[in-house]
Amino acid sequence: MKIGKIIAIAALIAGAATIANAADGATIFKRCVVCHGKSAEKVPPGGSIVSATLSAEEIKKSLRLYKTDKEHGGKMKANMQIQVKPLSEEDIDAVADYIFKNFHIAK
């Protein structure tokens, strides 16, 4: 096999792996539905804000605060901290953008 074909195949495999590992907001959001509703339309237990009324930037900021600030959040903040802990920055961006693009409700 020629070196050019080997490089091309390696590039395709690497690209496919990157796409497969890319953050998927819809998949991540499936974990949120129990408390926040199918369309992020519910006030979660112990909470006071409907996520669908927030901008993507507000959602991102809140999720990042759950990761870094143990005082951020309402009565169920410990649950949110557990849910957000494994999320990467890309995951946070993806789920926040997904919520905003698909479910946003104007205030």
Q: Do the Cβ atoms of 81 and 70 come closer than 8 Å?
A: yes
Asked if the structure places residue 17 within a domain, the reply is no
Average pLDDT over residues 33-58: 96
71-93 pLDDT tens trace: 999 998 999 999 999 999 999 99
At residue 107, the pLDDT reads 79
Mean pLDDT of the chain: 86
CA distance 40 to 48: 13
At residue 2, the pLDDT reads 61
Asked if the structure places residue 47 within a domain, the reply is yes
* Confidence at 8, pLDDT banded by 50, 70, 90: very low
Asked if the structure places residue 4 within a domain, the reply is no
Which domain range does residue 29 map to? 23-103
What is the separation of C-alpha 91 from the centre of its chain, rounded to a whole number of angstroms? 4
Residues constituting the chain = 107
Asked if the structure places residue 11 within a domain, the reply is no
- CATH code assigned at 70: 1.10.760.10
The domain total for the chain is: 1
At residue 12, the pLDDT reads 46
Reply yes or no on whether the pLDDT at 18 is more than 70. Answer: no
Asked if the structure places residue 79 within a domain, the reply is yes
Asked if the structure places residue 32 within a domain, the reply is yes
Q: 46, exposed or middle or buried, with CB in 10 Å at 0-12, 13-18, 19+?
A: middle
Query: Six-digit token pair at 77?
Result: 């903040």
Q: Do the Cβ atoms of 87 and 80 come closer than 8 Å?
A: no
